[in-house]
A = this chain, B = another copy of it.
Amino acid sequence: MKACILTIGNEILKGKTVNTNAAEIGRMLYFSGYEVYRGLVVPDVKKEIGQAFRSLIGICDVIVSTGGLGPTFDDMTMSSFADEFKIPLELNEDVYKEIKTRTESRGMEMTKEREKMALVPRGSIILKNDVGTAPGIEYKMGQTRIFLTPGVPSEMRSMLSLIQKEIKLKDSFYFEGSVVILGIYEASLAPYVTKLMEQYGGKVYIKSHPSIKNGKESSLEVEVSAKSDTLENSRRIVGEVLDKIRSIEREIKSH
């Protein structure tokens, strides 16, 4: 099963903000058993946001978006999504009441900007926002489950476990582990890695990440991940492959 992450916001594109949200969502999806297959970042432009959702629906079983749910003019994820698929936006009474209570308890007035945050596409399931005002939603479109979450990291984060409960696959468990190797270059290890992956016929994925210091590889992290029907199996396979990598390390160093 494949999952995609859609990030909405100019501040991410121009690098004012580093996209930690996408990494956190990716982690959640990965540990829920999904292959995270596409990340997309689009600007605060209505047509682009709508088309981004459309383009991902063909690729992924689960889509999680982050950003564009707040009160300002450039928060337009809900309306872009609704317009693209011709779903009417409607005021959610429960959300409206909650925003009103929250607003008035702080001695402020209900503006149309605050009201906007209670407008959701008809048929949405509300994801409660425990730390802020704008709620997230889940929307089911055919076989695709689409989740819209806020861009403020703590607000987005507060919805991750709700989403995970909904989508967690019951027969797909990832496990990963890594070893750090000193004194062997990535290119020297590479042929062994290729051979090892062939031995396991696609069940295991090995990736190496060199650290560079003063223009030289100072260490090499070798990451091994496996996916199987039980967590125990995945864990066992990863352990086995990590042991083999340690043997290869000894072999290379003894030359």
Contact = CB atoms under 8 A, between A and B. Distances in A.
Contacts of A11: 207, 209, 223
A30 B15 CA distance: 8
Interface in A70-95: 70-74
Given A41-B39, A187-B111, A23 B27 contact: no
A25 B30 contact: no
Contacts of A186: 70-72
Assign chain A's interface to a size class. 35 or more
Contact of A18 (B20, B44, B108, B114): B20
Contacts of A13: 5, 26, 36-39
Say whether chain A's binding surface is mostly helix, strand, loop, or mixed.
Answer: mixed
A246 to B, nearest CB: 18
B43 A37 contact: yes
A111 B19 contact: no
Contacts of A197: 73
A73 B190 contact: yes
Interface stretch (A126-134, A138-146, A165-173, A233-241): A126-134
Nearest to A106: B185
Given A23-B15, A186-B72, A131 B215 contact: yes
Given A18-B19, A30-B14, A188 B108 contact: yes
A40 B141 CA distance: 23
Contact of A15 (B18, B27, B106, B194): B27
B39 A7 contact: yes
Contacts of A25: 15
A5 B74 CA distance: 22
Nearest to A188: B108
A154 interface: yes
Given A26-B15, A41-B40, A10 B205 contact: yes
Nearest to A59: B48
A190 B37 contact: no
12 contacts: A18-B20, A19-B19, A36-B43, A37-B48, A39-B41, A72-B186, A72-B193, A72-B194, A112-B191, A114-B187, A131-B212, A155-B212
Interface of A: 5, 7, 10-20, 22-30, 35-44, 48, 70-74, 103, 106, 108, 111-114, 117, 130-133, 152, 154-155, 185-188, 190-191, 193-194, 197, 205, 207-210, 212, 215, 217, 223
